[in-house]
Structure 1
Amino acid sequence: MASVFFPIPTIHRSFKSSTPIPINRFSLSQPRSLLPLDSCPFRSRFHFSSTSSRFIPLASTSSDVPPDDSLHSLEEARLAVSEYLQRLGVSEEESVSIASNSPRFLKMLVDGVRELDETSMWISWSSEGERPVGDGFGFKEKVALMAREKGDNGKVAFLESAGMNLSSAMNVARYLSGEMLPSLIYKVKYMKELFFSGSGDGKFIGKSARRMMTNLSIPPDDDVQQTLSFFEKIEARRGGLDMLSSNEESFRLLLESFPRMLLLSIQSHVKPMVEFLEAIGIPKERMRGIFLSFPPIIFFGTEVLKSRIMTFEKVGIVEMEFGKLLPKYPWITSNCIQGNLKQIVSFFELEKVPNASITDAIRSWPLILGSSASKLELMVDSFDELGVRSKKLGQVIATSPQLLLQRPQEFLQVVSYLEEIGFDKESVGRILARCPEIFATSVEKTLRRKLEFLISIGVSKTHLPRAIRKYPELLVSDPDRTLFPRIRYLRQRGLSKRDIAFMVGRFSPLLGYSIEEVLKPKLDFLVNVMEKPIKEVVEYPRYFSYSLEKKITPRFRVLKERNIECNLKDMLGKNDEEFAVMFMGDKGTSEVIGARQHTNKAIQALASFGELLVSGIVSLTTREETNQAFEFLTRYVLRRV
């Protein structure tokens, strides 16, 4: 990209020179221990070409230039502001960039000088002990004096160059009156790097922020309320929350909404917090999602964060697990969510949900902590009507806790659809307990299309309820990634479309088995070792459900040793005793019964040992001793079996 140049006089007595120089970004020198200042440009209304450590903005719009000012006067005003900023400790390059990228501040100074010139009021600006301001003062000196008298020590010009409009820059500058300009420049650059560096996952961060807003049904505390206001400002802009982490406008709104962050010490407050987050397992590239989704967290400090982590330890979530939880739901560190945690846990305990299931639900979907107990109760009541309660309820919320945040009407739409295709409430409840994610899907976009797919491959409507009852996961399987590849593989092995439809109708879990781990090795064994035609699996598709090592191979060897031929159903469909009676005679039956008796004794021995531990008759003081005892007993039992 070609550089755009403004003809700006150089500062070292080269006023007569008209050679254009490029307008670069800020490059304030800092001590070695500080963040490199060329690492993060932050001009909001300019585009950059970052081919070097300097950033060259495009020219400002003509509306930024005072319409009645000569180019020479404007250049002098820029030079005056640049020299004034250098006296405040800003580098030459940095000062030129700030002066060139704060056109409204510059216009304010120029207009002020003209007004005093026209009214001859400069004499009133003379301070005690200073030379009176009069005809001896040039335009540049007057602009510099006007900048000094504003009293913001260059902050307004800098904040405008950082992307703020003039009024916002003045408001924030008043808030930061105690900050020195070089320190402020460094802080802004560090915060820009912290909040906006990293990969382009802005849409993901925006989607997460929108989800947090939508699912909050408890009164927000001050920190969350400030965050909501910040989100609303972003949402009102073009692109909305999807631009949260990638739009320069977002950084301007962030500084306007949370100017207090620029009062924080980078060395003693912000960096220790970043190090603490890394210590609990949060990589730097994921921190910006936390800070953008909940900016007030940066004010907490490490000690406050540690105390809020301890709240979750009471429900079984330790510090390192918290590091996985925080990026999912940064609001869990807020006071309102911390208080609601106790309410949610108490609610589920009253519903007799196991504590382990409650913890798993929070780990998987922490957004439920932003919901009121009364809202969760509506969904729990809907589950209860289907017979899903207590332990079954625990299984559902541990597997699909997002169901708790649904509206009851959405849930009941799925229930009604399943009833339409032939399921009673009891069957729907069993499906809910086994595959709850079905109830988080859309009837039109997902369920109806899956049934149409099953019909398209030849499964009759009368067999649909049976197929779904045996394998409800069919309704949430991806046809392109899961179902079609399995059908294609079975066709390649010689089965017809009609064969496959018949098999799915009788044993629908068939389409859930891995090709490489289940279908291929078992078909190869059937054809190559057992020397049976592949069509045998059409009559007995349940063949694929048995273990090749533990059941299919041992039974085939028994039959082969006795030169017995039988179909797959007779070979695999019987339990051990029935198989022994039919194919092994009395001796085989006795062996099977004896082995089973030994197994039962082993189970009883293990159970008795556990009871002794619980009762205190056997006392093992350490986990290592306990493990050693169990290992010894297990080896003993296995030898006997």
Structure 2
Amino acid sequence: MATMASFFLFFPIPTINACTKSSPLIPLHRFILPQSLNFCPFPSRFHSLLTSSHFLPLASISHDALPFSDDTPEEDPLQSLAEAQLAVSEYLQRFGVSEDESVSIASNSPRFLKMLVDAVRELDETSMWVSWSKERGELDGFGFKEKVALMAMEKGDCGKVAFLESVGMNLSSAMNVARYLSGEMLPSLIYKVKYMKELFFSGSGDGKLIGKNARRMMTNLSIPPDDDVQQTLSFFEKIEARRGGLDMLSSSEESFRLLLESFPRMLLLSVESHVKPMVEFLEKISIPKERMRSIFLLFPPVIFFDTEVLRSRIMAFEEVGVEVTVVGKLLIKYPWIMSNCIDGNLKQIISFFELEKVPNASIINAISSWPLILGSSTSKLQLMVDRFDGLGVRSKKLGQVIATSPQILLLEPQEFLQVVSFLEEVGFDKESVGRIIARCPEISATSIEKTLKRKLEFLISIGVSKTHLPRAIKKYPELLVSDPHKTLLPRIRYLRQRGLSERDIASMVGRFSPLLGYSIEEVLRPKLDFLVNIMEKPIKEVVDYPSLKDMLGKNDEEFSVAFLNYKRTAEHLRPPTFYSAKCSCCCIWGGYESSYPFEVDGVKAELVVAKVAKRSCCP
């Protein structure tokens, strides 16, 4: 019995030994098999040919790649590997696993195989098998394969450890998860894992977007997280620490492994009575099945929610004015808004904005467009609201900012004040800064060095003088956040192609900076074509037009009348014709007339205005 004690010193009785109803083939006695080891419910094609192609090709496996070392030169390590794989395959089939499935598991669980083989060799080296065969005659004459199968039975995990390793887990994690799933039958577990993997990792190629939304959650959440949110954040941290980071969240085998390790409870859920009803519920709120993986990956605990709980959380959004279809779209990017902590913070956020007299429509728009604010504490929001108040942006103006750019409220106050100081250096007072930010809130979140300064340099490079910069920015603050290469330069190049010089363009931009924001195809080209082709006017005449805003904002007929009126008063005013005549009183009186030619809808006409000067004696 000394040898027996030494065996359990190195190989303690495993803790994964709960094979009850789910695995009736495992006996209570650790070393007595219920039936012959040669028995297999699925007659294996490998009983006569151990080198089947279902296992790892023996000829292609190097000695160093074997899952165990070869300390006994008289044994063939490749043959031992094949026998060990076959033993595990037949062992798995005893629990109802198909032959093909068992072969795949045995071929993809090398550490589990090594553990069994090392245990067998340890017993061989200490002659433990001999002592057991003397005590139990049924063990006499066991071969290597039978010994491996016996050690697999001794582990008591009913094949779960081998299977979990085959789906990517390391051996220690597989043993921990198998212990948690001790009551699950192996075929049922295999079915659940396949279903979950398809649910979580099949769909559209939006992996980077999923990773981006995960980072947003990690960055912007400032309220105390509940257990579900905390587990999700821990899961994200594990993914982020791997190569590729969160961008690999939706496409990596490693992610699936970490998902099972972090949330093993999902494998206890019933697919038919819980998971599938959840999928059907999400489809009813207009979430396509191929997009559901975003929901489950970005907030895995949602799969544990009862559909009634999920329905009540959605109703909370409906009560504040967010439509169900909108909530469905939000769930694809931000499913954690269904968590318990967000459910409690929602009412606080609404009350906070109402106290600030923000219109309800603006609140709804803010939540619908940037639900990340729901993860922010009201104290953090108050800091930014105070900064806006200092610039005169409050109530309705604040509502406009929140409705169009709610993400501004999540800025750090110091970053916001740096942008304000920069605009003051350009030449604006606080009131003007407030108006600029209220019109274009995105400026607040823009990098000073990478964006704002470069935009000013760009405007100067196209001929806008430094003294005219404040005027240009004040009329069109969007210049500071427009992409020079995609928005500004294409319009400048187009105006040059039409015959305008750099000086002409600089003059026009200095007077009316929104010129660089108009669409080429929808506004600039039609207006200039009408001026040149229909009205037969030179392109240069547009440079000195007093109101480019009126010109670009009018339709063709309105523009032609306005343009001709301007030309009549500016250039085409005919000098007055003086004349004299006698009145009935024989008095001499005089006057003049002026002519104004114009054209409307192709009809040329002339407006004649006469001015008569009379003496007081004339009737």
TM-score bracket, normalised by the shorter chain, equals 0.7 to 0.9
SS of 1:110's equivalent in the other structure is helix
How big is the shift at 1:240? Answer: 2.0
1:253-292 correspondence to structure 2 within 5 Å: 253-292=258-297
The 3 A distance-change label for structure 1 pair 533 and 542 is farther
Which residue identity does 1:406 align to in structure 2? Answer: L
Moved more, 130-139 or 270-279: 130-139
Determine the structure 2 residue equivalent to 1:608: none
How big is the shift at 1:66? Answer: 3.5
How big is the shift at 1:326? Answer: 1.0
1:28-43 correspondence to structure 2 within 5 Å: none
Moved more, 143-152 or 402-411: 143-152
Determine the structure 2 residue equivalent to 1:536: 541
Quote the Cα distance in structure 2 between the aligned partners of 1:449 and 1:98.
59
The 3 A distance-change label for structure 1 pair 59 and 274 is farther
Asked if the contact 2:207/2:249 (under 8 Å) is kept, the reply is yes
Is 1:109 aligned to 2:116, yes or no? yes
Is 1:148 aligned to 2:180, yes or no? no
Quote the Cα distance in structure 2 between the aligned partners of 1:320 and 1:92.
46
1:469 to 448, 470, 474: 474
The 3 A distance-change label for structure 1 pair 122 and 569 is farther
Asked if the contact 2:210/2:333 (under 8 Å) is kept, the reply is no
SS of 1:90's equivalent in the other structure is coil
Is 1:431 aligned to 2:463, yes or no? no
1:160 to 146, 165, 172: 165
Determine the structure 2 residue equivalent to 1:451: 456
Moved more, 503-512 or 324-333: 324-333
Is 1:86 aligned to 2:89, yes or no? no
Is 1:237 aligned to 2:269, yes or no? no
The 3 A distance-change label for structure 1 pair 82 and 60 is farther
Moved more, 15-24 or 515-524: 15-24
Moved more, 286-295 or 359-368: 286-295
Asked if the contact 1:536/1:568 (under 8 Å) is kept, the reply is no
The 3 A distance-change label for structure 1 pair 428 and 556 is closer
Determine the structure 2 residue equivalent to 1:66: 69
- Unaligned runs of 5+ residues in structure 1 are 1-9, 25-56, 571-582, 587-641
Determine the structure 2 residue equivalent to 1:34: none
SS of 1:509's equivalent in the other structure is helix
The 3 A distance-change label for structure 1 pair 584 and 370 is farther
Q: Deviations over 1:202-249 (max 9, x none)?
A: 222222111111111110000001111111211222222222122211
The 3 A distance-change label for structure 1 pair 585 and 343 is farther
Aligned residues: 527
Determine the structure 2 residue equivalent to 1:319: 324
Determine the structure 2 residue equivalent to 1:184: 189
Which residue identity does 2:454 align to in structure 1? Answer: R
How big is the shift at 1:61? Answer: 7.2
SS of 1:565's equivalent in the other structure is helix
Quote the Cα distance in structure 2 between the aligned partners of 1:476 and 1:569.
42
Determine the structure 1 residue equivalent to 2:31: none
How big is the shift at 1:544? Answer: 3.3
Is 1:348 aligned to 2:353, yes or no? yes
Determine the structure 1 residue equivalent to 2:597: none
1:315-394 correspondence to structure 2 within 5 Å: 315-394=320-399
How big is the shift at 1:386? Answer: 0.3
Q: Deviations over 1:148-198 (max 9, x none)?
A: 222211000000111111111111011111111111111111111111123
Which residue identity does 1:544 align to in structure 2? Answer: M
How big is the shift at 1:14? Answer: 5.2
The 3 A distance-change label for structure 1 pair 483 and 544 is farther
Quote the Cα distance in structure 1 between the aligned partners of 2:453 and 2:467.
16
Determine the structure 2 residue equivalent to 1:565: 568
Quote the Cα distance in structure 1 between the aligned partners of 2:443 and 2:289.
36
The 3 A distance-change label for structure 1 pair 67 and 554 is farther
How big is the shift at 1:121? Answer: 4.4
How big is the shift at 1:371? Answer: 0.5
Asked if the contact 2:473/2:480 (under 8 Å) is kept, the reply is yes
Which residue identity does 1:177 align to in structure 2? Answer: S
Which residue identity does 1:66 align to in structure 2? Answer: S
Q: Deviations over 1:437-457 (max 9, x none)?
A: 111110111111111111111
The 3 A distance-change label for structure 1 pair 77 and 451 is same
1:99 to 98, 106, 118: 106
Which residue identity does 1:470 align to in structure 2? Answer: K
Is 1:21 aligned to 2:53, yes or no? yes
Quote the Cα distance in structure 2 between the aligned partners of 1:525 and 1:537.
12
Asked if the contact 1:537/1:543 (under 8 Å) is kept, the reply is no
How big is the shift at 1:556? Answer: 6.5
After superposition, the CA RMSD in angstroms is 2.8
Which residue identity does 1:438 align to in structure 2? Answer: I
Moved more, 533-542 or 82-91: 533-542
Which residue identity does 1:430 align to in structure 2? Answer: R
Determine the structure 2 residue equivalent to 1:598: none
Determine the structure 1 residue equivalent to 2:406: 401
1:614-625 correspondence to structure 2 within 5 Å: none
Is 1:513 aligned to 2:518, yes or no? yes
- Unaligned runs of 5+ residues in structure 2 are 1-41, 574-606, 611-619
Q: Deviations over 1:494-530 (max 9, x none)?
A: 1111000000000111111111111111112222333
The 3 A distance-change label for structure 1 pair 427 and 569 is farther
Is 1:415 aligned to 2:447, yes or no? no
Is 1:198 aligned to 2:203, yes or no? yes
Asked if the contact 2:530/2:556 (under 8 Å) is kept, the reply is no
How big is the shift at 1:84? Answer: 1.0
Q: Deviations over 1:509-561 (max 9, x none)?
A: 1111111111111112222333322222111233433311573245579x69x
Quote the Cα distance in structure 2 between the aligned partners of 1:289 and 1:79.
39
Quote the Cα distance in structure 1 between the aligned partners of 2:415 and 2:47.
73
SS of 1:535's equivalent in the other structure is helix
Quote the Cα distance in structure 2 between the aligned partners of 1:68 and 1:252.
33
The 3 A distance-change label for structure 1 pair 355 and 59 is farther
SS of 2:275's equivalent in the other structure is helix
Quote the Cα distance in structure 2 between the aligned partners of 1:19 and 1:255.
33
Q: Deviations over 1:5-42 (max 9, x none)?
A: xxxxx974655546551449xxxxxxxxxxxxxxxxxx
How big is the shift at 1:139? Answer: 2.2
Which residue identity does 1:110 align to in structure 2? Answer: V
Asked if the contact 1:510/1:544 (under 8 Å) is kept, the reply is no
How big is the shift at 1:96? Answer: 1.1
The 3 A distance-change label for structure 1 pair 141 and 339 is same
Asked if the contact 2:294/2:333 (under 8 Å) is kept, the reply is no
How big is the shift at 1:58? Answer: 9.8
How big is the shift at 1:567? Answer: 4.6
Is 1:488 aligned to 2:520, yes or no? no
The 3 A distance-change label for structure 1 pair 243 and 13 is closer
How big is the shift at 1:85? Answer: 0.8
Quote the Cα distance in structure 1 between the aligned partners of 2:443 and 2:61.
53
How big is the shift at 1:200? Answer: 3.6
Moved more, 106-115 or 502-511: 106-115
SS of 1:500's equivalent in the other structure is helix
1:136 to 135, 141, 144: 141
The 3 A distance-change label for structure 1 pair 569 and 460 is farther
Quote the Cα distance in structure 2 between the aligned partners of 1:58 and 1:231.
36
How big is the shift at 1:305? Answer: 1.1
The 3 A distance-change label for structure 1 pair 408 and 536 is same
Q: Which of the two has higher C-alpha Rg? A: 2
